[in-house]
Amino acid sequence: MTDYIAGGRRLEDVPKTTKATGVPAVQYAVARRTGPPAAWWGMLMLISSEGVLFAAMMGTFFYLRFNDPQWPPKGDPEPKFIIPLIMVAVLSTTSPMMQGAWRAAREGRLMMVRGLLFLALIVQSGYFAYEVTDFGHEIQKTPISNDAYTSAHYVLLAADHAHVFVGILFNLWLIWKFSRGITTYRANALQAITLYWHFVVLLTWAVIGTILSAAVG
Amino acid sequence: MAIATPPTPTAAERMHLLETMWEGRPGILGWFTTTDHKKIGLLYFWTTLLLFGAGGAEALTMRTQLAVPNAHVVSPSTYDELFSLHGITMIFFFIIPMTTGAFGNYLLPLMIGARDMAFPRMNALSYWIFLWSGIFLYISFALGVAPNAGWFDYVPLANGHYDPGRNIDFYCLAIIFNGISSTLTAAQFIVTIFKSRAPGMSFNRMPLFCFAFLAASAGLLFALPLLTADTIFLFLDRNVGTHFFDVASGGSAFLWQHLFWMFGHPEVYILIVPAFGIATEIIPAFTQRRVTAFPLVAIAELLVVFIGFGVWAHHMYATGMATITAVFFGAATAMVVIPSTIQVFAWCMTMILGTARFKTPLLFIAGFIFMFVMGGLTGIMFVAIPFDQAVTDTYFIIAHFHYIIFGAAVFPIFGGMYYWFPKVTGKLYFELPGQISFWILFVGTNLLFFPMHIVGLLGMPRRQYTYPANLGWESYNLAETIGGYITAAGILLLLGNLFVSYFRGEEAGPDPWHGATLEWTTTSPPPPYNYAVIPKVSSAYANWDEEDRAEDRRKLATGVLVLQEGHEQVAVTPVDGTLDEIVEMPHDSPWPALLGLSLFLVFSMLVIGKYGVAGCFAIGCVLSLFGWHSKEPQE
Amino acid sequence: MKLERLAVLQWVGLLVGALAWTSVHLAGIGISQAECNATGAARWHMSNPAWEGTVLGVAALCVVIAEVCAVTVFWRTRGFEFGDGPPEEGFEGERKPTRIHFFSAAAVASNAIFFMIIVLEIVGQFGNIACRQS
């Protein structure tokens, strides 16, 4: 009785998405779906939670700033402008790469998916490697235990870098999975992880903006 | 009428096939690897009961210490640990896991017509993290280094200078550890409610219980990270040398309070809103009437949590903040009572207009309404800042929040235990001992908590391990202690009644109460697959829609929406419940239990300062996650 | 009015009031801190009545607009039950406005509450001596 209508939709039109493996089946299944899958919603929940965590950290930065007549306090260096902005712009290029990979997955272009994921991984890893090295140099010169400013500054940066690292792990997993072909499960994961990377890019802009605000006013 | 017996031989074959596909591994291994929301709910239930016992023992010990002036039942430092652990245990390790983990896990998929949660393995992970976080916390008690600065752990008392031992490190890490479990549960519930409802169950046809759990889950998701940030800062201040809360180095002690209460106030609504959901299902069943003003009750459940995010500094009126800032919190605090009032009126009107049968579950709900209104009345008094400043940190505050928490959270939990006992066990409880347990608890809790109002107004401060004689506090404290023991007796009678009923109660059948929601359409206890056919839903009172239930029996005979080609479940669009896809769900898995254990090892190493070893175990966690996702649901 | 337009108005009614109150509540706390905090007072020189009056007034207007939308949708869908209408199953593509009616009823109540909170906050601004310790 596939002409049965359940919840406003004919049963025969409803895809059995998880069973779809291989390019044509996955393309068909994903196209017949009207909304994002549960994986995407789950990722939205994760980034909502992490977003609030970062809002708390950025709020803390500003709260402490408005309690302190001089910010950064005497003895702490002013934040650098040019290189952090260049680096976050570089990281931002991964957003269209991930979005392109998801689009290619929907269109069944597996080689393009693998290529874009690999390219994104290179950019993300390069960004991460530079940032971790720079973080190490900074913290050796000006320790975290100096005062409240250095505490908030380094914890905010470290949390952001940790989220970039988690994203890199996600991408490594995706590259491994897509090297073995495509299933709807993997396509759903790619859609969710693309959302994660959009969040991380926006977050990094917000974090850098917060850090650089110490040099203003 | 429930599908308790298959209508045709073909239907019987279908149900048998579903049974074999959905049943888990047998024995102990089955419990360790289960992803069945019902089994996970039962695991939560037993674990939280154990922790409730621990929290209750802490309370009784404190009450015994305070029964008479100048007592020496426990030392002052032990008393500090007792009141801290009592608060932490009851809030994080009893009420939240009992309401969300036990009731929510067991009932939510059943109420929305689903076969399981949206992410079954993550559901199991939530439980294992919860269990290990409880063990982690109580290891601190066993080692004599339990948290000792209160459940809200203010700095500077909690910083490394004034509390140099491992006590507060255990506090910070236990809170973060437990918070992961609750965050995962919250995300799970929201996605399950959005995506896994039966087709046709648009939001206006969703039971009010589900609205309550949606509200509580949204509250948890947005509030817990604030506490996580706060405890991370404190842990770093104590162990790494940061200065978030160190005033001399540009930090702020108020920062702790702001972040804590930004979490803490939504938290109290998170505690009581699931209980509102329980009440909102018991009342229709025992009045055989739909809840009055359904959309207003639904939005009230969401609004009370939403507005609750904006009132946090009413816990800080005594800190000397500017009046003009306090105005915002006072305004929102005054108005946040309105959604709760809407619900109270709706419940009362439903009971008045319906035919109320005061069986034990409804008795507990009536008791809940009484105690919640009492607690709410004292709560609204705190909007007046001068009054609030006079009673801050006195027993008046303790009276208020215990009326709210015990009355508005624990009473519905007890009522819910009785109400859903037949569904979970297939047996009826004994009614007379049930009613007696209610009255003992009602008398006991009022005797325990009401005198606290008076002794608080007489000036008795909270968190004092003893008090001198001749201040006029003795008789009130003695009465409270007697009330505490009566309450304990009531709880033991309740649990004893359920225990004996499990072995000796009459067969309940699928629907002993003629309840309103979908769980009463399936067998008691429900089969592993919950529903042989994904139910047709036309209203929020699906069990009362006879035509739809008849349609389900016809569909079972013809195989429509039986989804027997695998471990299948439907997914719908979030708002209107339009059928969107059919998805394969994962089977049982050992990875959640393994990952929970790995996380426990990470936190154990962090608390003793072995950060490198913690990092190694964290790598183990990452490898567990890779292992978890190596096998896809359809494989 | 077409169902699609009613659906848009329903979401406006449900969400705009909540967003307006949230924004003004957080902004108000921030502005009062900026005015009364030692560093803020020296640096920002905010005029509380001017800033708060403007911000709260705009928020009140947004809540009123949201309420008008909610009431409009509620009135135009008044013939439908909140959840007991004919089942959507069996009617492919046909949408009944029961969900819209339900959310508009909820929005009518929630916007009224948000409006009252904003009114109380406005009263607090005028009746108050700024930066006095509470």
A34 to chain B, minimum CA–CA distance in Å?
6
Count of positions (residues) in chain C: 134
Residue-wise pLDDT tens digits, B455-504: 999 999 999 999 999 999 999 999 999 999 999 999 999 999 999 999 99
Rounded average pLDDT over B104-118: 97
Q: What is the pLDDT of residues B421-430, one digit of tens each?
A: 999 999 999 9
- pLDDT for residue C86 is more than 60: no
Query: A87 or B9: whose pLDDT is higher?
Result: A87
Tokens representing C38?
Answer: 């030692």
Q: How many Cα atoms within 13 Å fall on the side-chain side of residue B599?
A: 27
C-alpha triplet B551, A36, C86: angle, nearest 5°: 30
Question: B204, C48: Cβ pair inside 8 Å?
Answer: no
Residue among B289, B324, B387 with most chain C CBs within 10 A, to mutate: B324
**pLDDT band for position A13 (cuts 50, 70, 90):** confident
Distance from CA of C12 to the nearest CA of B (A): 15
pLDDT grade for A1, boundaries at 50, 70 and 90: very low
CB of C116 within 8 Å of a chain B CB? The answer is yes
User: pLDDT digits over C42-56, tens only?
Assistant: 666 666 777 888 889
pLDDT digits (tens, 9 = 90+) for B517-556: 999 999 999 999 999 999 989 889 999 999 999 989 988 8
Q: How far is C128 from chain B (nearest CA, A)?
A: 7
Minimum mean pLDDT range among A199-213, B129-143, B203-217, C83-97: C83-97
Mean pLDDT on A25-29: 90
pLDDT higher than threshold 60 for residue A2: no
pLDDT of residue B576: 84
Chain-chain contact of A37 with B581 (C-beta, under 8 angstroms): yes
User: CB A8 to CB C34 under 8 A?
Assistant: no
How many angstroms separate the first and last alpha carbons of chain A? Answer: 70
* Better pLDDT: C91 or B331: B331
Return the closest-CA partner of residue B137 out of B188, B96, B81, B187.
B81
DSSP state of B536: P
What does the pLDDT read at residue B137? 98
The amino acid occupying position C32 is: S
Q: Say whether C88 and B576 touch across the interface (CB within 8 A).
A: yes
How far apart CA B114 and CA B126 sit, in angstroms, is: 19
Residue B331's nearest CA partner among C64, C57, C133, C119 is C119
